[in-house]
C-alpha cells in the first residue's frame, strides 16, 4: 500500500505507484501513462453503453449491475437497450446513458476519491458523473472503495459520438482533509498571487474569500472581435468527440457580442460559454476545484467541469501570469440578467501530498493553458 506522510491530493508519481500496485487497474486494457495528469487520472469508457429510462443513485445493498435489470413496479428495469461502442456509438441529446468504465479501484482504507468532468466534456454541455456501488453521492468515491466505476452521461446541447477508450472524466485521489481554510487561502494569495487582472495581480483587499475564492464574469468582450461568449444552437449535427480542430464554430454556436451596458440576459435552459474576468494561478503544491455556483434561489448554475491541475495558469516556477477560467453556464426557470464583473464562481484549493513531477502546461499536451474564451478542442481555432 501507498503510505502518505501527510494529507493531500495524490501526485502523478503517486498515481503511477497506485497503478503499479493494482490499486487502480483495468481488465480490458492496461492503464497507460498517458492517462496520468499532474494530479488526476483520465478514466476511460468501456465497450458497452446502456440507454436508461432515468438517472438513479445506488444507495441500496444491490450493486449497480444488479440494479440495471431489477424489475420496477411496472415490471421493467432501468435499461431500455444496450449498445456496443467498441467501434463508436451515438449518444442522443437529452437521453441518459450509463457506461461502465474500464478502470477499477482497490483503494487503501485511508484513500478516497473525487471525479470531475474533463474540460472538453463541460464545454460541450455533457452532463457526466461517476457512480460507485452502494454510494448515495455522485462523483465521490468512499475511502477504501473496492469495485467498478460507472459513468452516467447525458448530452444536453449536442448529440455526440463516443468510442471505447475515450475519456470524459478524471479522477483524483486524496488522503485526509486537504482543503485550504480561508485564512490559509489568504496566505497563499499573498505568497503566490492567485488572481490577476491583466498583468497586474489583485491586491489582498481586492480578492473575495468566503469558504473559497470567488471570481467574476467578463462581459467586456474580446478586443478584436467584441465577443463575450457563445450560446449553443438548438439544432445541429453530431459532434464526434474523437475529432480535433474539425467543426466550424458557426454550425454549432452563436457568438455573443458586448453591449454598451455590459450586461447579458441568460435565457432559461440555454447553454452559454463565457469566461472569468480574473486570471487564475494554481501553484504546483496545490490543486483547485471550481464548484457549481448557484444564486440563492437557484436560477443560475455555472461550471460543470471544475478541476484545475497544479501549474494551471502558473507554470513550474510562476512564469505564467494567470489563465482565464472558462465558464459553462445554464440559467433555470426564468431569464436572468448578469453584469460585467458580477461574482460568478468559486474555487476551492487543496494541498498536494507532494509536488507532482510534471505540471499543467504545453509540455504535457495541456490544451487550455493560455485560453481566452475557448470552445472545446473539436472546433476550429479560426
Question: Of 119, 143, 175, which marks where a domain is finished?
Answer: 175
Confidence band of 142 (pLDDT split at 50, 70, 90): very high
- In percent, the amount of the chain with pLDDT more than 90 equals 69
Are 226 and 373 contacting, i.e. CB atoms less than 8 angstroms apart? Answer: no
pLDDT at 116: 93
State pLDDT tens for residues 234-251: 888 999 999 999 999 999
Same domain? For 51 and 157 the reply is: yes
Report helix, strand and coil shares of the chain as percent, to nearest 5: 10, 40, 50
13, 18, 24, 25 alpha-carbon torsion, rounded to 10°: 90
**Residue 61 pLDDT > 50, yes or no?**
yes
Same domain? For 88 and 229 the reply is: no
Question: Of 144, 175, 206, which marks where a domain is finished?
Answer: 175
H or E stretch at 162: strand 160-162
Same domain? For 54 and 123 the reply is: yes
Q: 154 or 299: whose pLDDT is higher?
A: 154
Same domain? For 90 and 15 the reply is: yes
- Compute the distance between CA of residue 87 and CA of residue 102 in angstroms, rounded to an integer: 15
Are 325 and 280 contacting, i.e. CB atoms less than 8 angstroms apart? Answer: yes
Average pLDDT over residues 301-321: 80
Q: What is the residue-averaged pLDDT of the chain?
A: 89
Who's near 20: CB < 8 A, 6+ residues apart? none
- In percent, the amount of the chain with pLDDT more than 70 equals 90
pLDDT at 303: 54
Cell numbers standing for residue 169:
472524466
Does some domain include residue 379? no
Main-chain phi, psi angles of 33, to 5 degrees: -60, -30
Same domain? For 237 and 124 the reply is: no
Three-class SS state of 189: helix
pLDDT at 192: 93
Does some domain include residue 370? no
Same domain? For 167 and 199 the reply is: no
pLDDT at 290: 86
pLDDT at 374: 85
Does some domain include residue 380? no
Confidence band of 77 (pLDDT split at 50, 70, 90): confident
**Residue 30 pLDDT > 90, yes or no?**
yes
Same domain? For 265 and 282 the reply is: yes
- Find the angle CA(300)-CA(247)-CA(363) to the nearest 5 degrees: 85
The overall pTM is greater than 0.85: yes
pLDDT at 3: 46
Are 176 and 8 contacting, i.e. CB atoms less than 8 angstroms apart? Answer: yes
Same domain? For 57 and 72 the reply is: yes
Confidence band of 373 (pLDDT split at 50, 70, 90): confident
**DSSP letters for 46-84:** -SEEEEESS-----SSS-HHHHHT---TTS--SEEEEEE
Average pLDDT over residues 133-138: 90
Does some domain include residue 150? yes
Same domain? For 57 and 146 the reply is: yes
pLDDT at 333: 79
Does some domain include residue 382? no
Same domain? For 110 and 198 the reply is: no
Domain boundaries, position 154: 8-175
- Compute the distance between CA of residue 113 and CA of residue 107 in angstroms, rounded to an integer: 9
pLDDT at 32: 95
Total residue count of the chain as it appears in this document:
382
Does some domain include residue 381? no
**Residue 256 pLDDT > 90, yes or no?**
yes
Same domain? For 203 and 62 the reply is: no
**DSSP letters for 78-146:** SEEEEEE-TT-EEE-TT-EEEEEEEEEEE--TTEEEEEEE-HHHHHTTEEEEEE-TT-SSSSEE-TT-E
Average pLDDT over residues 316-322: 86
Same domain? For 193 and 107 the reply is: no
Who's near 82: CB < 8 A, 6+ residues apart? 48, 49, 50, 51
Are 193 and 313 contacting, i.e. CB atoms less than 8 angstroms apart? Answer: no
pLDDT at 13: 96
Does some domain include residue 369? no
Does some domain include residue 2? no
- Compute the distance between CA of residue 234 and CA of residue 92 in angstroms, rounded to an integer: 13
Question: Of 175, 198, 215, which marks where a domain is finished?
Answer: 175
Average pLDDT over residues 86-97: 97
**Residue 267 pLDDT > 90, yes or no?**
yes
* Largest Cα span, the chain: 63
Determine the number of helices (DSSP H) and then strands (DSSP E) in the chain: 4, 28
**Residue 2 pLDDT > 50, yes or no?**
no
Sign, Cα dihedral of 157, 364, 100, 89: positive
Number of domain units in the chain? 2
Cell numbers standing for residue 114:
473525487
- Compute the distance between CA of residue 43 and CA of residue 35 in angstroms, rounded to an integer: 7
Domain of 356: which CATH number?
Answer: 2.70.40.10
- Please state which of the ranges 63-72, 96-105, 120-129, 270-279 shows the lowest mean pLDDT: 63-72
Sign, Cα dihedral of 364, 124, 40, 278: positive
Three-class SS state of 3: coil
pLDDT at 379: 95
pLDDT at 68: 85
pLDDT at 88: 97
pLDDT at 86: 97
Average pLDDT over residues 290-303: 60
Neighbours of 295 (CB within 10 A): 14
- Please state which of the ranges 157-166, 311-320, 344-353 shows the lowest mean pLDDT: 311-320
Amino acid at each position: 500500500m501507498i503510505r502518505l506522510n501527510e494529507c493531500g491530493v495524490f501526485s502523478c508519481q503517486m498515481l503511477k505507484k497506485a497503478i503499479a500496485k493494482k490499486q487502480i487497474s483495468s481488465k480490458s486494457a492496461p492503464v497507460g501513462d498517458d492517462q496520468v495528469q499532474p494530479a488526476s487520472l483520465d478514466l476511460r469508457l468501456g465497450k458497452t453503453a446502456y440507454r436508461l429510462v432515468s438517472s438513479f443513485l445506488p444507495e441500496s445493498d444491490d450493486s449497480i449491475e444488479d440494479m440495471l435489470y431489477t424489475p420496477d413496479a411496472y415490471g421493467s428495469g432501468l435499461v431500455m437497450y444496450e449498445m456496443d461502442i467498441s467501434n463508436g456509438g451515438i449518444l442522443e441529446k437529452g437521453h441518459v446513458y450509463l457506461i461502465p468504465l474500464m478502470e477499477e479501484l482497490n483503494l487503501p482504507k485511508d484513500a478516497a476519491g473525487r471525479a470531475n468532468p474533463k474540460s472538453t466534456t463541460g464545454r460541450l454541455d455533457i452532463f457526466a458523473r461517476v457512480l460507485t456501488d452502494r454510494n448515495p453521492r455522485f462523483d465521490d468515491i468512499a475511502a477504501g472503495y473496492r469495485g467498478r466505476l460507472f459513468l452516467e452521461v447525458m448530452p444536453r446541447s449536442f448529440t455526440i459520438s463516443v468510442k471505447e477508450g475515450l475519456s470524459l472524466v478524471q479522477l483524483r485521489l486524496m488522503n485526509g482533509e486537504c482543503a485550504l481554510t480561508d485564512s490559509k487561502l489568504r496566505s497563499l494569495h499573498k505568497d503566490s498571487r492567485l488572481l490577476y487582472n491583466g498583468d497586474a495581480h489583485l491586491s489582498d483587499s481586492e480578492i473575495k474569500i468566503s469558504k473559497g475564492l470567488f471570481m467574476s464574469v467578463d462581459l467586456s468582450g474580446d478586443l478584436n472581435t467584441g465577443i463575450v461568449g457563445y450560446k449553443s444552437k438548438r439544432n445541429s449535427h453530431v459532434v464526434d468527440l474523437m475529432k480535433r480542430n474539425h467543426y466550424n464554430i458557426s454550425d454549432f454556436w452563436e457568438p455573443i457580442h458586448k453591449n454598451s451596458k455590459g450586461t447579458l440576459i441568460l435565457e432559461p435552459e440555454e447553454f452559454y460559454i463565457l469566461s472569468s474576468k480574473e486570471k487564475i494561478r494554481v501553484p504546483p503544491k496545490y490543486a483547485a476545484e471550481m464548484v457549481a455556483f448557484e444564486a440563492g434561489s437557484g436560477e443560475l448554475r455555472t461550471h460543470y467541469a471544475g478541476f484545475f491541475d497544479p501549474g494551471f495558469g502558473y507554470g513550474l516556477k510562476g512564469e505564467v501570469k494567470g489563465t482565464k477560467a472558462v465558464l459553462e453556464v445554464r440559467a433555470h426557470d426564468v431569464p436572468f440578467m448578469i453584469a460585467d464583473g458580477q461574482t460568478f464562481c468559486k474555487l476551492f484549493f487543496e494541498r498536494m501530498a507532494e509536488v507532482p513531477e510534471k505540471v499543467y502546461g504545453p509540455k504535457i499536451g495541456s490544451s487550455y493553458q493560455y485560453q481566452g474564451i475557448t470552445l472545446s478542442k473539436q472546433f476550429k481555432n479560426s
